[in-house]
Amino acid sequence: MFWPGVLIGMGIVILLKNETFQKAVMKTGMKAYRAAESGIEEVKEKLSKIESELEKEEKPAK
């Protein structure tokens, strides 16, 4: 188990020191962040619409 761990660790270090790999990881991270941010905005918009609809339904009942 020792040598496979050493080889895997060496592979990870080589990848992490590779500038091209670093850029690819950063680009992927930014794309994921933007997608998550966009999804959150959509949820906020939907919640706002639902809240408005609920307020409209409650007003005539008063």
**Residue-wise pLDDT tens digits, 22-41:** 999 999 999 999 999 999 99
Cα 14 from Cα 36, distance rounded (Å): 30
pTM of the model: 0.55
Domain range list for the chain: 19-61
Taking Cα atoms as reference points, which of 35, 47, 53 lies closest to residue 27?
35
Q: In this predicted structure, what is the pLDDT of residue 62?
A: 53
51 pLDDT above the threshold of 90: yes
